[in-house]
Amino acid sequence: MTATQPDPRGEEAFSSSVVLEQNAAAPESLLASPDQLTQNEITQEIVDYHAAAARREAAGERLNRSLHDFPPYRSSLLRHPTKNPKLVDPETIELWSPAFGQRDVAAIESDLTLQHIGEPQGERMTVQGRVLDSWGRPVANQLVEIWQANAAGRYIHQRDQHPAPLDPNFTGAGRTVTDDDGFYKFTTIKPGAYPWKNHVNAWRPAHIHFSIFGSGFTQRLVTQMYFPGDPLFPLDPIYNTIWRQQDRDRLIGLYDHDLSVPEFSMGYRFDIVVDGPDATWFEPEEGEH
């Protein structure tokens, strides 16, 4: 099922392992929504669903930051639970996370510009920040994974077939382990916006996917980091699955000139806070862990 297979695309073969089942038909047909509304119609739906969420919260309903049921994002229609999640006390195993260590990740894996023979095209950038919990405590020695499109907005993925160039010097995947104070850092290329088929003329704002492990498995987080001032923000159903503006703002990497390196790279800061269980938290005894 998940065995590594050689890249079947011949001349577009890269040294990275792109792992897909190549013999079965890839479900590209699933990727285009059937109704294909205009951008204006989708934008209005976004506004309406945000207003509805605000009314529901004002009426006392407890809403997730990201709305699982968000029809403007057409792919969510059949994939969101219809029942409210069961509120439970986390059991012991859920209060722990897998133990990652330096053994799990090579240092070079945090530099996405060094994975091939040549330099990738595009604007070189760094993104760094801290992983914290809801009480501001650092999440130390935990895995951070990222993946992204190249500077032209193309993913090195069989199912992304839109006519933007692949970059033979860029795969777009990296990982690192946070240090003792929860800090991480990646060097990469600023990704481009890319088109998708949620509606007519749909474009995703440029973003980097982040996958985060907290100190407990229930804190597991997959999110996306965006770039400041993107004009596509109000148009994008995925960004807007997060219904409060203040929560959407937290997904934007901040440009920090002090992190830019002269004549080399632009610097962004993106701090990530993982959500903890609401009431009680469990701490290792002193000296443990």
Partner 1 sequence: MVGTRTARDLGDKTHEPTGGQTVGPFFAFGLDYPKKHEVVFPHSPGAIILGGTVFDGAGAPIPDAVVEIWSADENGEIPRAHGAFRRDDHSFTGFGRAATTDVGRYEFWTRNPGPLDGGAPFYSVVVFARGLPDKLVTRIYLPEHDDLLAADALLSSLDDDERATLIATRLPNGHLHHDIHLQGEKETVFLAF
Residues 140-169 that bind partner 1 (CB under 8 A): 143, 145-149, 155-157, 159-160
Tokens 């703002």 found at: 249
Q: Give catalytic residue positions.
A: 155, 194, 204, 207, 209
Q: Using CB under 8 A, which of 242, 253, 259, 267 touches partner 1? A: 242
Tell me whether residue 228 or residue 262 sits nearer to partner 1 (CB atom). Answer: 228
Q: Which is nearer to partner 1, 151 or 274 (CB)?
A: 274
DSSP letter assigned to residue 66: B
**Which of the stretches 49-57, 75-83, 117-125, 258-266 binds partner 1 when contact is defined by CB under 8 A?**
75-83
CB of 206 closer than 8 Å to CB of 190: yes
According to CB under 8 A, which residues from 198 to 237 bind partner 1? 209, 211, 217-218, 220-224
Q: Is 94 in the site for partner 1 (CB under 8 A)?
A: yes
Based on the shown chain and the rule CB under 8 A, indicate whether residue 276 belongs to the binding site for partner 1.
Answer: yes
Q: Which of 66, 161, 201, 245: binder of partner 1 (CB under 8 A)? A: 66
Residue with the two structure tokens 């047909």:
29
Q: What pairing do the DSSP bridges indicate for beta strands 124-132 and 266-269?
A: parallel
- Nearer residue to partner 1 within complex by CB, 41 or 69: 69
Q: Is 35 in the site for partner 1 (CB under 8 A)?
A: no
CA distances from 25 to 28, 70, 124, 215 (A): 8, 28, 36, 39
> How near is the Cβ of 215 to partner 1 at its closest, in Å?
12
257 scored as a contact of partner 1 (CB under 8 A):
no
Indicate whether 283 belongs to the interface with partner 1 (CB under 8 A). yes
For residue 153, count other CB atoms closer than 10 A to its CB.
Answer: 19
In the complex with partner 1, which residue's Cβ is closer, 219 or 265?
219
Q: Taking the C-alpha atoms of 90, 92, 97 and 101 in order, what is their torsion angle to the nearest 10 degrees?
A: 160
Beta bridge partners of 124: 189
Nearer to partner 1, 121 or 134 (CB): 134
Q: What is the CA radius of gyration of the chain?
A: 20
Distance of alpha carbon 257 from alpha carbon 205, whole angstroms: 22
- Contact stretch for partner 1 (CB under 8 A) within 47-55, 96-104, 120-128, 254-262: 96-104
Q: In terms of C-beta density within 10 A (0-12 exposed, 13-18 middle, 19 or more buried), how is residue 16 classed?
A: middle
- State the nearest-atom distance from the C-beta of 124 to partner 1, in Å: 20
Least distance from partner 1 to the Cβ atom of residue 107, Å: 14
- The pair of three-digit structure tokens given for residue 52, joined into one six-digit string: 């509805």
